[in-house]
Amino acid sequence: MKALSAGLTDVGRKRSHNEDSFQIDAELQLFIVADGMGGHAGGGTASRMAVETVNGIMRKAKEAPDTPFVRSDSLKDALIPEVLRGAVEQACAAIFQEAQKQPRLQGMGTTVISLLVQDEYAFFAHVGDSRAYLMRGDLIQQVSEDHSLVNEQIKAGMITAEEAKNSRYKNIITRSVGFESEVQVDVMGVVCELGDHFLLCSDGLANLVEDREMLDLVRAGPFEEVPKKLVALANERGGDDNITVILVKMSP
């Protein structure tokens, strides 16, 4: 299988600048979305450093003599997840160190959702509330778990998922890359099927477009136009944040 992809980022309708960054490395089959925070300079710097650092580390790993990019018999035997985790951890340290050097960047950080496709496996590394979805047939499922205050409240039974959509705390995240020198990174793996779609996005999309609406637009196609249609829908509903989308399709 091969991963086909299309991506787009947009400033939205309420922000004066875009603090999101994304990366599509078709050769590595690596896809990254990062949503920065920390002001005009800090947020954009953090998200850009994150995607560049993760991409650079994974590219070096691919070219190394002891490369982890080898075929594995099962998800649990794959070497990629720990390398991907380490890449996000190194991005965290690099962003934190850069913030210490420049006072105007102090406090910056970013979310990261990354996807690397190898053979029939899809591997994810995740920090923050940017999301990864799997779409298979008539089903859509969120693969990542939001590291956010409202998600903690939902799990504790304090609020419902519907109440979370309108919570004044919905933009508060509990983990970020670069705000501190270290961060806990979630890694996940999925066995792919032909026709699967993976959607990576920042919360500028997820907060305004329902999961089922994402699935309907993906199924309606055309594939290359879906990110543009998703961004347009989020903007129609206010576009109160930057919006970034990467769509990946598993093809023969």
Total residues belonging to the chain: 252
pLDDT in tens, 97-122: 999 999 899 999 999 999 999 999 99
Q: What amino acid occupies position 12?
A: G
When the pLDDT of each residue in the chain is averaged and rounded to a whole number, the result is 95
CB atoms within 10 A of CB 145: 14
Structural domains present in the chain: 2-251 (3.60.40.10)
Query: What's the pTM?
Result: 0.95
d(CA 118, CA 103): 40
pLDDT over 90 (residue 168): no
CB atoms within 10 A of CB 139: 9
Categorize the per-residue pLDDT at 96 as very low, low, confident or very high, splitting at 50, 70 and 90: very high
DSSP state of 159: S
pLDDT in tens, 203-238: 999 999 999 999 999 999 999 999 999 999 999 999
Least confident stretch, 74-83, 154-163, 173-182: 154-163
Question: Residue 51's pLDDT is what?
Answer: 98
